Amino acid sequence: MCGIVGVVSSENCQHQVLEGLKKLQYRGYDSAGICLKMGGELVAFKAKGSVEDLEKKCPENMEAALAVGHTRWATHGSVCEKNAHPIFSANKHWAVVHNGIIENFPQLQYDLAKEGVCFKTETDTEVISALLALDNFKDPIQNLIWACGRLKGSYAICAVQQSDQNQILVAKKKSPLYIFSSGSESMVASDPVCFPEDQYYRLEDDEFASVSQTGVIFYNKNGKRIVKETQGAITKQSQISKGVFKHFMLKEIYETPDGLNALSESFANFDFSKMRKWWIGKVKLIGCGTAYHACLMGARYFKKHLGLDAEAVTASEFRYDKVILDTSTLCIFVSQSGETADTIAAAQKALKHTKKIVALTNVSYSTLSSMTPHVLSICAGPEIAVASTKAYSCQVAALYLLVMALKGEKELKNALKNVKKTSKLLEKFYVNLGRFAEDISACQHVFFIGRGSDYITALEGALKLKEISYINCNAFPAGELKHGVLTLIDHSTPVIVIATEKQTSDKTMNSAFEAKARGGKLYLISSQMPNAASLDKFEMCLTLPQTCPDLECLLATLPLQLLAYNVAVMRGNDPDKPRNLAKSVTVE
């Protein structure tokens, strides 16, 4: 979940690395560091905090033709400058930046310590630089291949040696890494968004590279040279800026209608004829966090419209549980980044049993996209804020459209109309939640309740609020309050009630009034206003525009996203970079 950028150029490359790291802070922002090669010497600067904090510590215009940088999400070792990358070998001959987890580092550390190696950080990365410092081979790339042969786990590695050669040595296993090369400039990065052009090389597992001004040489794990072809990324650099918005999260909430429109166009032109021929016995929808909530909604669509046995499973459980799969099982893997480690591992497991695998992702060049036989883009566009907003709405809409596409061409056309109608309603539904947000911002605990799809919306609303406001938020099925939850209700407890399902709204209201009777403060988000007799029981009532029942969840989700954003800002938090989190979860 860390971000790596390396540059070899005929010109000073410090600025390029720092600018690239700023684009990768969605991957981690606990600390940052940069290593510059000046002559034959390695010079490093580190900072606890953001890349902007690092930039302040770097002297201007240092003449360096090679630099590697890193923005960190801590896995091993506390957040401090000492543990920030680059991590040097004890003899200072090697500097390493690394994304991933070295699972056998305690044993390696023990073995190396017996040989007299002294470790100065708390990171697993230091065993990599220590192995490289043994210099068992004259050829530096052979040293890296040998060292990686002793590692267990996941890694994207950029290593620089103190020598006269200006080259970055690169290794990849289970963590993304890309290379760009043109003229006298070459770059390495965790995401092609850092590159000046859309043509790049993608490293596969157990591949290595030597990157220099003269180009790139690729190697397999046996040290043999291999040839790779470039591929292209669909990345609009203009979409990476905040524009007129103060934060990426708010910008991305406002981009939801654009994403839904792009999704509709994509699905209208997609050929579903092969999928319609599938005989499907059951459906497994797999994701993590927000993507898992989208899977829950997707499972409801499969049951309701196709009558299929559909189940949503968290990827971290799917990969280790004894899940029964066969050739009739349709597995749908949902991931915004397409790099979620648990989701990728779950997909690898499923591929051993069925070829009916669909990846639903926002990144066409991701690992998940490359490994699955069928890929559907959610078309949300770049999403930088850690808390996923427009991507969640597009994931839910994409699952709805997929179900209707499997049902038939006519059903898909009607579903596309419904998505476009909902998109237009969203454009006019950016409500002012001033007092609502003020009330919630002063609280320590918030409950969300709903039934059916409203419960799933409650789960997503609670997740959004907790991850950027740091308020303890919990979501419950409305009918479960009396089975224990009511003990937690007092006169300071807000209860946010989601009630869009007509068949269960009365039951949901009854549960809400049970909470009210115990002192809870009720806030209602519903597709219809309560009757006059009940109106005064609520602190606030927000009525949603009318759309197709399957997509009312998108209209209910929007104000919850805005609520989370406003509460976070009121509490002085950065909604784009919540503490302890990162967006692309590339480690287990």
Neighbours of 405 (CB within 10 A): 23
**First CA to last CA across the chain, in angstroms?**
10
Neighbours of 81 (CB within 10 A): 15
**pLDDT value of residue 367:** 92
The catalytically annotated residue of 2, 148, 394, 553 is 2
State yes or no: pLDDT of 205 exceeds 90. yes
Please report which confidence band the pLDDT of residue 35 belongs to, taking 50, 70 and 90 as the band edges: very high
Average pLDDT over residues 109-136: 92
Cα separation, 539 vs 392, in Å, equals: 28
**pLDDT value of residue 243:** 87
**pLDDT value of residue 462:** 98
Cα separation, 124 vs 222, in Å, equals: 24
Q: Write the DSSP assignment of 113-162 as a string of letters.
A: HHTT----SS-STHHHHHHHHT--SSSHHHHHHHHHTT--EEEEEEEEES
H/E stretch holding 349 reads: helix 341-350
Q: Count helices and strands (H / E) in the chain.
A: 19, 25
**pLDDT value of residue 16:** 92
Average pLDDT over residues 360-388: 94
pTM of the model: 0.92
State yes or no: pLDDT of 235 exceeds 60. no
Query: Is 583 annotated as catalytic?
Result: yes
**pLDDT value of residue 380:** 96
Displacement of CA 219 from its chain's centroid (Å) = 30
Cα separation, 543 vs 529, in Å, equals: 6
Q: Which superfamily, per CATH, for 434-570?
A: Glucose-6-phosphate isomerase like protein; domain 1 (3.40.50.10490)
Using CA atoms, how far residue 212 sits from 145, 215, 218, 447, 551, in Å, is: 18, 5, 12, 55, 51
Q: Which superfamily, per CATH, for 3-233?
A: Aminohydrolase, N-terminal nucleophile (Ntn) domain (3.60.20.10)
Average pLDDT over residues 532-538: 82
Structure tokens at 395: 């994931």
**pLDDT value of residue 266:** 97
Give the class (CATH, top level) of 241-427. alpha beta
Cα separation, 493 vs 445, in Å, equals: 6
**pLDDT value of residue 184:** 87
**pLDDT value of residue 467:** 97
Residue identified by tokens 């497994």 is 284
pLDDT in tens, 55-90: 999 988 778 889 999 999 888 989 999 999 999 999
The DSSP output letter for 228 is -
**pLDDT value of residue 255:** 97
Average pLDDT over residues 369-380: 95
**pLDDT value of residue 239:** 57
State yes or no: pLDDT of 290 exceeds 70. yes
State yes or no: pLDDT of 236 exceeds 70. no
Cα separation, 354 vs 485, in Å, equals: 41
Cα separation, 464 vs 252, in Å, equals: 14
State yes or no: pLDDT of 201 exceeds 90. yes
Query: Is 2 annotated as catalytic?
Result: yes
State yes or no: pLDDT of 450 exceeds 80. yes
pLDDT in tens, 497-510: 999 999 999 999 99
* Closest to 385 measured CA to CA, from 254, 291, 249, 250: 249
pLDDT in tens, 335-347: 999 999 999 999 9
Asked if the domains 3-233 and 434-570 are classified in one and the same CATH topology, the answer is: no
Rounded to the nearest 10 degrees, the angle between the axes of helix 453-469 and helix 434-441 is: 70
The catalytically annotated residue of 22, 174, 466, 583 is 583
CA 152, 153, 159, 162 torsion-angle sign = negative
State yes or no: pLDDT of 586 exceeds 80. no
Rounded to the nearest 10 degrees, the angle between the axes of helix 290-306 and helix 453-469 is: 170
CB 399 within 8 A of CB 359: no
Which sequence spans correspond to the domains of the chain? 3-233, 241-427, 434-570
pLDDT in tens, 539-578: 999 999 999 999 999 999 999 999 999 999 999 999 999 9
Please report which confidence band the pLDDT of residue 152 belongs to, taking 50, 70 and 90 as the band edges: very high
**pLDDT value of residue 3:** 94
Share of the chain above pLDDT 70, in %: 99
**pLDDT value of residue 238:** 47
pLDDT in tens, 237-280: 445 788 899 999 999 999 999 999 999 999 999 999 999 999 99
**pLDDT value of residue 585:** 81
